[in-house]
Structure 1
Amino acid sequence: MTIQPDPARPRADAPGDAGHERAELIAQAHQRSESYGLRPYESPDFCPVLQSELKTRIERSQSLFTYALPVMETLHDQIVDTQSMIVLTDADGLILHAMGDDDFLARADKISLRPGSEWSEARRGTNAIGTALAENRATLVHGADHYLEANQFLTCSCMPILDPYGKTVGALDVTGDQRGFHKHTMALVRMSAQMIENQLFGNAFRDMVCIRFHSRAEFLGTLVEGIVSFTPGGRFLSANRSGQFQLGLSNGALQAHTFSSLFGLSMSQLFDAARAAHAGIVPLHLPSGVKVSARVEWKTPAAALSGGTEARHAGAGGATGIPRSLAAGPAPSPGLDELDTGDAQIRTVIGKLRKVIGKDIPVMVLGETGTGKELMARAIHADSGRRAGPFIAVNCASIPENLIESELFGYEEGAFTGARKKGGIGKMLLANGGTLFLDEIGDMPLHLQGRLLRALQERAVSPLGSSKVIHIDVSVVCATNRNLRDLVASGQFREDLYYRLNGLVVRLPALRERSDLDVVAGKLLHQQHGGGAAGADNHAPRISDAVMALFRRYHWPGNIRQLGNLLRTAQLMAEGEAEITEEHLPDDFLDDLREAQAQAPAAAPGVAMAQGMQPTRLAEVEAMAIVATVKAHNGNISAAAKALGISRNTVYRKMEEARGLPQQSG
């Protein structure tokens, strides 16, 4: 479908025009563009950020980036060969990723429409990305709607992406040649953005009670289903766009509600209804009186060692579709006893923790990425007197620096540009009566460390933009894979906060240092094959002795998380067979193992540790193995990190360490 624009009436009558409202939106955007000092005839800004800054910005938006990529790929399949491209930006309009038809990408590059370039209104004038972010609404900018003449060959459809608390975290855009405009493009963009939002929502509340509902049962599991999340005690946490629409209330207004006040049932009645429900469908009534069909999910953490394995969700828990976690009532998180798998170091850590649990002593858990620090924190919570309260996890490294303050302490309406109406509840307040887990605490911005210290000492928080003080009662567990003493010495971490947080410091050993590898691997494999629950297929393949020998020789840079990912793949490859053998292992793992052995021919990493290999040598082997994995994935950091079961940040850091190592000769 091709529509030629009318040059005499470029803005009000552009394709897809919704009338006066849209014309007014474009006119206001042009006024803002002029106020920024831009002129229509100006050349585009060809000053993208440096690659290092782009990398940092991607890392700040890591969750958005992770969940958006597969959605973008699906969307690309739908619009391929249409002279167009798909763009993902952060909340400031900086392009994080783009994909599309090669010839159109080349045209877009001529106006700097590429990763690293900022497309805010202040930089580019009226354009779909900048205007959608400025207006916080889906926006079409077509042809001569663009303020800069250089951009007027484009037609762009953009939708802001909101996080689970209603804050704008980025935008999804489809841009193409304006001659190829199609009215359905915006609908595709809206649906794709909503898919990303629902993924972010599910990730944020994966350990809470989630209710998926719709007035028509056949719409459950689709994009239009409402999702609302509560604590196990019934306190409202958040609702997605569709959930707010069906409930007839904004997230801000819903903060005053509980599950009972919205649906007229107690949480125990909800769990009873879920257990008795046919096909897992629970009938509920909205405040408006409308009857809806609902599925109840409580993805309580399973007794997994990988730090990421969770109980099955609704619809996957057996023939009835009832979640396994509800089949016998709400299941608790695994306690410390369940983490004792025979390693003496782990047993010592557990013994130390038992002596301080419930005594208001903060705990600091140290360890490499993937060693199970969050799972240990959950076990501490499960064995404490706060087990009935919330467990709230905050990853200080994954939240953008400009949002972490509002995430922790909350904010009032109008506290900052883009703040949603009625404000937002901070994670510290959400953790009231329970446990606050601050993961990657070493990455917390220095200017916020003082405020965190004050909140912990005074046991009170003040939301941004508010003068009120709210008293809280939280137990704090922190974790980091960085050396906080070094950070204190270099002025990157406050010494007073350090001593406030490290009441008891425990270190989780790396997988290569543990003596229970066989038990850990067996338990992970068992859990991934169904965990022995009723109705599960318990004929899981065993790990062959030859493969276990390989595992003992490997250095496991991604630790237990990497082992869990590898076993998940190997189990699928060995489906129907009695044993997991070397042929079922991923090629990159085998290549990595060979590369590591080539770098240290005298002794394999696991053996070398037992023989007293120096830590610096072990670090060298680890770093070089990560470099080899990146090379095996043709430089794709995301793919390498996924294969290793570690974060992109860790891959980048280890690669930097590898550059500083002496080169091997021969």
Structure 2
Amino acid sequence: MAEEHSRHCGLVLRTVESGAAAVQSPVAASWCRSALRYGLRPDDRPFVERLDESALRAVREAAGGLPDLAQATLDALFASVGRSGACLLLANGDGIVLDMRTTEAERETFAGHGLAPGANWSEMREGTNGIGTSLIEQRAVTILRDEHFACRNTGVSCMASPIFDPDGHVIAALNVSSARADLGDTALLVAALVQDAARAIERDMFCERFGAARIMLAPAERQGGGPALLAVDRDDLVIGATRAARRQLGFEAGTPLPPRPIGDLLGEPQVQGFEDGDRAVLRQALARAGGNVSAAARLLGIGRATFYRRMERVGMGG
């Protein structure tokens, strides 16, 4: 084991010293971040940092409803991968493990690898690894055994995917780890299952956030990237969009989403008349005008004073 660790340490350090390696390989780029940005060495500390129970409770509380909302998806995913001797982890946006699924027979084995609730798997602390690297790069990653940065982590392979909140921020990571040396093509299947589960959690979070709205699919310009969902209110204004939908429609992730008429976003703009329902007409005109009342009134062909009177009549205030 010491000889294997020595070889791995030498490979990592030689790769970091090579100026071209980081450009050629995402794993090498992560190794370089680990060494040069975070100041880590592959033969550093012999254990993974882990929070005590009190600190872990505080981290779980700070995660809000995510752990509870994800329970059904975690159970379903573990039912698919658990019999192969895998460990399922849900971590927060800082890489702290919030929840874990494994068999009792495997629990101690994975704990010996630092895979347990409260463990800190941020890239800043552990270098290249499934959870931490997926959070930093904001994409799904597979880190096989000797692709880990730290020598102590080369006993497992990790398939991970980030989880994005309804505003497009990365807030968590889902990870399946295996200690099997013969994982082979199984890693591809597990990685796909992890990504599907992460997208399911994103969908559930979005639907919970916009429970009173109508949920629609955005036009699918390309495959993959998660659920492209829109939340539309009773006046046909889009009030929410998932990260994939924002990307397709040109909205920046993590920024406030200005209400827009659904027809405008779908390429079917319509300026309705008041007979179609005053409230919806007024709100859509305001949305198109960026909140400028005078411009909205001009769109409808009425005066500003008339626009205000109609706002008051439908309870929109002055």
User: Given the two structures, how large is their TM-score scaled by the length of structure 2?
Assistant: 0.70
Q: Aligned ranges for residues 10-25 of structure 1 at < 5 Å?
A: 24-25=25-26
Residues 122 and 386 of structure 1: CA distance in aligned 2, closer, same or farther (over 3 Å): farther
Deviations 1:423-473 (A, max 9, x none): xxxxxxxxxx7xxxxxxxxxxxxxxxxxxxxxxxxxxxxxxxxxxxxxxx9
Q: What displacement does 1:107 show?
A: 1.5
Q: Which letter maps to 2:34? A: S
Separation in 2, partners of 1:201, 1:61 = 16
Separation in 2, partners of 1:237, 1:21 = 41
Q: What displacement does 1:225 show?
A: 5.7
**1:210 has 2:211 as partner:** no
Deviations 1:501-521 (A, max 9, x none): xxxxxxxxxxxxxxxxxxxxx
Q: Do the aligned partners of 1:232 and 1:267 also contact (CA within 8 Å) in 2?
A: no
Q: Do the aligned partners of 2:161 and 2:173 also contact (CA within 8 Å) in 1?
A: yes
Q: Aligned ranges for residues 38-437 of structure 1 at < 5 Å?
A: 38-181=40-183, 182=186, 183-212=188-217, 226-244=228-246, 247-252=248-253, 255=257, 257-263=260-266, 264-265=268-269
Percent identical: 24
Q: Secondary structure at the match of 1:160?
A: strand
In structure 2, the residue matched to 1:30 is 31
Separation in 2, partners of 1:87, 1:232 = 39
Give the alignment's Cα RMSD to 1 decimal.
3.5
Q: Secondary structure at the match of 2:101?
A: strand
Q: What displacement does 1:62 show?
A: 2.6
Residues 229 and 34 of structure 1: CA distance in aligned 2, closer, same or farther (over 3 Å): same
Q: Secondary structure at the match of 1:42?
A: coil
Separation in 2, partners of 1:23, 1:110 = 33
Q: Which letter maps to 1:204? A: R
Q: Do the aligned partners of 2:95 and 2:120 also contact (CA within 8 Å) in 1?
A: yes
Q: Do the aligned partners of 1:231 and 1:237 also contact (CA within 8 Å) in 2?
A: yes
Q: What displacement does 1:161 show?
A: 0.5
Q: Aligned ranges for residues 430-579 of structure 1 at < 5 Å?
A: none
Q: Do the aligned partners of 2:23 and 2:29 also contact (CA within 8 Å) in 1?
A: no
Residues 101 and 168 of structure 1: CA distance in aligned 2, closer, same or farther (over 3 Å): same
Q: What displacement does 1:212 show?
A: 3.3
Deviations 1:132-155 (A, max 9, x none): 111111111111110111110111
Q: Which letter maps to 2:196? A: M
Q: Which letter maps to 1:28? A: A
Q: Secondary structure at the match of 1:104?
A: helix
Separation in 2, partners of 1:90, 1:82 = 25
How many aligned positions are there? 257
In structure 2, the residue matched to 1:562 is none
Q: Which runs of 5+ in 2 are unaligned?
A: 1-6, 13-20, 277-311
User: Given the two structures, how large is their TM-score scaled by the length of structure 1?
Assistant: 0.35
Deviations 1:344-393 (A, max 9, x none): xxxxxxxxxxxxxxxxxxxxxxxxxxxxxxxxxxxxxxxxx79856xxxx
Q: What displacement does 1:102 show?
A: 2.9
Q: Secondary structure at the match of 2:65?
A: helix
Separation in 1, partners of 2:70, 2:96 = 15
Separation in 2, partners of 1:62, 1:184 = 30
Q: What displacement does 1:64 show?
A: 1.2
Q: Secondary structure at the match of 2:25?
A: helix
Q: Do the aligned partners of 1:82 and 1:180 also contact (CA within 8 Å) in 2?
A: no
Residues 386 and 208 of structure 1: CA distance in aligned 2, closer, same or farther (over 3 Å): farther
Q: Secondary structure at the match of 1:103?
A: helix
Deviations 1:459-489 (A, max 9, x none): xxxxxxxxxxxxxx9xxxxxxxxxxxxxxxx
Separation in 2, partners of 1:178, 1:38 = 26
